[in-house]
């Protein structure tokens, strides 16, 4: 009898111990800052990496020559300054006393080796960003001269991202193409371990050049794809910060006194691309008649769309540059919805209504909902919009091959306006899936990328938008997203920057 009574008690005790051990953080964990990412990053090699979440991890591992601040200004990081000797020649001065995680000194030769690798390693994704470099010379230990093929207003901004990350030459030589399995850079944290799809762990680098601003001992990045589970981890205290949460989850965070929300502008945009000349699907009335595209856009109420699907969190727009961008054209605003005018335009175009139009939509819940709301809106103007929800990889291929009529597609955005415009608007650019072509827009885009005077450059972008967006209706820009970061109330020092990266400098847990 006694034995029988003891067994359930032992089981209960074990269960209680299990629950307690799971719930109470060990002292070591208190120093561990855990960040929930929306997906597992790809390879941690600045030359070969391409995912956004990878950049979040790089923010702790690899410092760059330059960085951007919350006002999108370019500020020095591993560099202390730069000067243009002429519009094609840039001299960068480096910070003295910087060490890589393996103890090697960071100098001009290391910068040359890293940039050279970005330019020449097979499979490099950085070549497209800095391929304009024609030569490099080490002037002295702390100065490097970079020669460009032509003047470039965007070049410096490229060095604020992975192209500007400097890697240890010794580690590069030892690891070669496997450098990403154990990256060695000059960031505030050094690589500890990576378990694919589970975690990436970095620990504080004692010899970091800006060590006074680093207050965390260890950061663990945990990829958690499901947004509900990501939020549940934050609510239960298993994470200190989540990289992004859905607008739907914002009220739950606001209600929780132990959590804080940080909402900041993002660099990118959501748009609807038209097929205007990529294969037979671009030859329909929508692709060929600007009146029909105008009618389609006038039938959409961006504000209502934003309220219905995104709780009004995003910023409706008519252009590719978000308000945070210094080149954002303030008076270039979305036109209000006008169903009567849209119907009149369709009558003028002489098409039979309802006009059947297909929209390719990446198959995720919120974008499908966006498609459905647009479907209902444009029906009132005389469009029969059919949604074609496709898994993202397949939709990309379909877009590239011209197998679409309209495509709901987002762009993560770049610091320089060239990164949000050229690749999508220029007739010979690779991401112009709809093959929009206007020689005047091409000329203006080419001019804007080499114009170093910011006032003149802004005017060039205004002209580009007036022609490509308002006159030709080459694409509908719907809204700029927001970076919605949720974190524990114990976190101090978090500054949202429009690029959405989590910079560890200044972060402190109370």
Partner 1 sequence: MTGFLVRRVGQIIPTLLILSLLVFGLQQLMPGDPALILAGEERGDPQVLAQIRAELMLDRPLWEQYLHWLSRVVVGDFGFSWRIRLPVSELILEKLPVTFQLATMSFVIGVVIGVPCGVLSAVWKDRPADWAINAVALFGISTPNFWLGIMLILLFSVQLGWLPPSGYVPPWEDPWQSLATTIMPAFVLGTGVASVLMRHTRAAMLGALSQDYVRTARAKGLSERVVVAKHALRNALIPVVTLGTIEFGRLLAGAVLTEQIFTIPGFGKLIVDAVFNRDYPVVQGVVLATALIFVLLSLLADLLYAAVNPRLRAA
Q: Which residue ranges make up the site for partner 1 (CB under 8 A)?
A: 17-19, 21-23, 40-43, 45, 48, 50-51, 122-123, 125, 127-128, 177-178, 180-181, 195-199, 222-226, 228-229, 232-233, 235-238, 390-394, 396-398, 400, 411-412, 423, 429-432
Q: Name the one residue in this structure whose structure tokens are 């976190």.
A: 491
- With a CB cutoff of 8 Å and minimum separation 6, the contacts of 505 are 188, 210, 213, 214
Give the integer Cα–Cα distance in Å for 471 and 476. Answer: 12
Closer residue to partner 1 (CB): 219 or 374: 219
The nearer residue to partner 1, 131 or 151, going by C-beta atoms, is: 131
C-alpha span between 310 and 242 (Å, rounded): 18
Instruction: Compute the least distance from the CB of residue 377 to partner 1, in Å.
Output: 29
For tokens 């702790």, name the residue. 60
- Which neighbouring-strand residues pair with 272? 408, 476
- Helix or strand (DSSP H, E) at 260: strand 259-265
CB of 418 to partner 1, least distance (A): 13
CA 168 to chain centre: 26
Using the minimum distance from each CB to partner 1, give the nearer residue, 3 or 428: 428
The nearer residue to partner 1, 18 or 174, going by C-beta atoms, is: 18
Q: 333 or 401, CB closer to partner 1?
A: 401
Closest CA to 425 of 276, 298, 268, 270: 276
- The DSSP letter of residue 335 is P
Q: How far apart are CA 252 and CA 378, in angstroms?
A: 33
CB nearer to partner 1: give 56 or 374.
56
85 burial (CB, 10 Å; 0-12 / 13-18 / 19+) is exposed
Is the CB of residue 266 less than 8 Å from the CB of residue 498? yes
- List the 355-362 sheet strands across, edge first: 315-316, 475-480, 269-274, 406-411, 355-362, 383-390
To partner 1, the closest distance from the beta carbon of 126 in angstroms equals 9
Closest distance to partner 1 from the beta carbon of 209 (Å): 29
Quick count: other Cβ atoms within 10 Å of Cβ 278? Answer: 22
Q: Name the minimum Å distance from CB 226 to partner 1.
A: 6
CB of residue 412 to partner 1, shortest distance in Å? 6
Q: Which is nearer to partner 1, 188 or 413 (CB)?
A: 413
Angle at 170 between CA 166 and CA 172, to 5 degrees: 60
C-beta closer to partner 1: residue 181 or 492: 181
Pick 222 or 502: Cβ nearer partner 1:
222
- Residue 80 or 397 with smaller CB distance to partner 1: 397
CB of 19 to partner 1, least distance (A): 4
Shortest Cβ 1–partner 1 spacing (Å): 20
Distance from C-alpha of 379 to C-alpha of 299, rounded to nearest angstrom: 8
CB atoms within 10 A of CB 25: 11
DSSP 8-state code for residue 373: H
- The C-alpha atoms of residue 473 and residue 273 are separated, in whole angstroms, by 10
**Toward partner 1, which CB reaches closer, 72 or 242?**
242
Nearer of residues 218 and 458 to partner 1, judged by Cβ: 218
Distance of alpha carbon 476 from alpha carbon 497, whole angstroms: 26
Beta bridge partners of 418: none
* Least distance (Å) between residue 200 CB and partner 1: 11
Q: How far is the CB of 143 from partner 1 (least distance, A)?
A: 30
Closest to partner 1 by CB, 338 or 431: 431
Reduce the DSSP state of residue 157 to 3 states and report it: helix
Q: Nearest distance from residue 31's CB to partner 1, in Å?
A: 17
Separation in Å, CA 36 to CA 60, 134, 241, 245 = 15, 40, 6, 10
User: What's the distance, Cα to Cα, between the start and end of the chain in Å?
Assistant: 51
Instruction: Give the count of beta carbons closer than 10 Å to the beta carbon of residue 20.
Output: 9
At closest approach, how far in Å is the CB of 504 from partner 1? 21
| Residue that is written with structure tokens 């610091």 in the block | 415
CB 287 within 8 A of CB 274: yes
The nearest distance, CB 397 to partner 1, in angstroms, is 5
């Amino acid at each position: 009898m006694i034995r029988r009574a003891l067994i359930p008690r032992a089981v209960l005790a074990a269960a209680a111990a299990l629950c307690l051990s799971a719930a109470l953080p060990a002292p070591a964990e208190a120093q561990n800052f855990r960040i929930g990412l929306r997906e597992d990053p790809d390879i941690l090699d600045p030359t070969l990496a391409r995912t956004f979440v990878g950049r979040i991890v790089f923010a702790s591992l690899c410092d760059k020559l330059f960085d951007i601040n919350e006002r999108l200004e370019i500020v020095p990081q591993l560099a202390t300054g730069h000067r243009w000797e002429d519009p094609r020649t840039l001299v960068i001065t480096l910070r003295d006393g910087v060490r890589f995680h393996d103890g090697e000194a960071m100098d001009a030769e290391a910068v040359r080796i890293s940039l050279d690798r970005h330019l020449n390693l097979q499979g490099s994704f950085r070549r497209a960003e800095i391929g304009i470099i024609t030569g490099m010379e080490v002037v002295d230990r702390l100065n490097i001269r970079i020669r460009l093929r032509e003047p470039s207003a965007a070049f410096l901004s490229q060095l604020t991202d992975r192209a500007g990350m400097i890697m240890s030459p010794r580690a590069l030589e030892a690891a070669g193409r496997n450098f990403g399995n154990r990256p060695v850079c000059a960031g505030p944290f050094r690589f500890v371990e990576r378990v694919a799809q589970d975690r990436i762990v970095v620990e504080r680098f004692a010899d970091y050049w800006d060590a006074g601003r680093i207050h965390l001992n260890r950061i663990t990045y945990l990829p958690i794809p499901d947004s509900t589970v990501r939020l549940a981890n934050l609510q239960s205290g298993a994470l200190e910060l989540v990289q992004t949460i859905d607008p739907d989850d914002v009220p739950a965070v606001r209600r929780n006194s132990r959590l804080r929300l940080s909402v900041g502008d993002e660099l990118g945009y959501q748009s609807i691309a038209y097929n205007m000349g990529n294969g037979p699907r671009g030859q329909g009335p929508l692709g060929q008649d600007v009146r029909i595209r105008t009618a389609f856009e006038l039938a959409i109420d961006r504000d209502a769309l934003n309220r219905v699907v995104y709780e009004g969190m995003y910023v409706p727009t008519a252009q590719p540059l978000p308000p945070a961008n210094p080149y954002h054209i303030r008076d270039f605003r979305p036109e209000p919805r006008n169903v009567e005018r849209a119907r009149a335009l369709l009558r003028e175009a002489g098409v039979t209504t309802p006009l059947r139009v297909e929209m390719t939509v990446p198959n995720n819940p919120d974008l499908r909902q966006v498609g459905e709301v647009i479907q209902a809106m444009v029906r009132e103007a005389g469009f029969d919009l059919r949604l074609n929800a496709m898994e993202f990889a397949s939709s990309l291929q379909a877009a590239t091959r011209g197998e679409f009529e309209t495509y709901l597609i987002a762009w993560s955005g770049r610091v320089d306006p060239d990164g949000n415009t050229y690749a999508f608007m220029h007739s010979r650019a690779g991401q112009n899936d709809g093959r929009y072509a206007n020689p005047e827009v091409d000329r203006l885009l080419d001019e804007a990328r080499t114009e170093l005077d910011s006032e003149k450059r802004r005017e060039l972008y205004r002209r580009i938008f007036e022609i490509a967006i308002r006159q030709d209706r080459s694409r509908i820009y719907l809204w700029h997203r927001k970076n919605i970061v949720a974190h524990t109330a114990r976190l101090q020092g978090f500054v949202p920057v429009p690029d959405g990266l989590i910079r560890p400098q200044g972060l402190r847990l109370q």
